[in-house]
Amino acid sequence: MSIFKGAGVAIVTPMKPDGEVNYEVFAKLIEFQISNNTDAIIVCGTTGEASTLTHEEHIECIRFCVQQVAKRVPVIAGTGSNCTQTAIYLSKEAQKAGADGLLLVTPYYNKATQKGLKEHYKLIAQAVDIPIILYNIPGRTGGVNLLPETIVSLCEEEPNIVGVKDATDNFIQYAKLMALAKGKVDVYSGNDNQIVPFLSLGAKGVISVLSNIAPQQTHDICAKYFAGEVEESARLQLEAIELITALFSEVNPIPVKKAMNLMGLEAGTLRRPLTEMEEATAAKLEQAMKNYGIL
């Protein structure tokens, strides 16, 4: 059984002006998501600025999210690292905190081979007892690409490795994965502009940045598709393209935090080395939000 089906939000980590995690706002953001029908919450991922959290903050954010959600939707914790032992440590702590699943990015900087990737993921999987979604995003990991054959073999060999978030921008590779998987791999789009194309080949949903500001609409793209209303799902997807483009006009999560602040959702500041959005791209983002009807 899939950890979730539909649109899961890759939730931001709200920050105070001094850069500390703002847990009061975090609770509000979680409630905003649940009240607008998000299907899962993915905490401490790229959008959550996990790479600049200390281990203690990382674990506390997962623990806080799990407690606030209180089993109303699945919570999936980002616990990936380029150090296998660190990933194991964070994954064990996430399981202790009550996470329903893990999201594990491919190791960055070291640039492991397919053999190294398999050993990395197998060691983590054998250290925990909760489901794991692999995360393939070569643009963030120095070009490291988890190949379809590797993904399928991992899902076959380790029962708790159940799926993959695909953010490769390589639809041919995705199609090959789905052909090889034969239903053994739960695939989630890692790109908001490709939700419907992914669903058309059997994906379970999306792990979404857009959902931070439009959770109901992103949920509906998936829900309409699953209900057989494919044309309406496609219409909703296309309606969001301008906004999605603006949300990635600078590196994520710079634009989405700007968008949330414009909406009064108090996402707060960014941790360095990320900086505030440039005026020109911020103006385009604001216009796209107005065109979409959320400002």
- Token pair for 227: 């209900």
- Residues 271-287: tens digit of each pLDDT: 999 999 999 999 999 99
pLDDT for 128-148, tens place per residue? 999 999 999 999 999 999 999
Q: What pLDDT score does 2 carry? A: 87
Peptide bond into 159 cis (omega under 30): no
Residue 230, pLDDT > 90, answer yes
- 103 phi and psi, to 5 degrees? -120, 120
pLDDT digits (tens, 9 = 90+) for 39-79: 999 999 999 999 999 999 999 999 999 999 999 999 999 99
Q: Which residues are marked as active site?
A: 135, 165
Question: Confidence band (pLDDT; 50, 70, 90) for 26?
Answer: very high
What is the average pLDDT across 204-220? 98
DSSP-assigned letter for residue 50: G
Cβ–Cβ < 8 Å for 28, 65: no
Phi, psi for 263 (deg, rounded to 5): -85, -5
Q: Which domains does the chain have, with CATH numbers?
A: 6-230 (3.20.20.70)
Residues 156-202 pLDDT 10s: 999 999 999 999 999 999 999 999 999 999 999 999 999 999 999 99
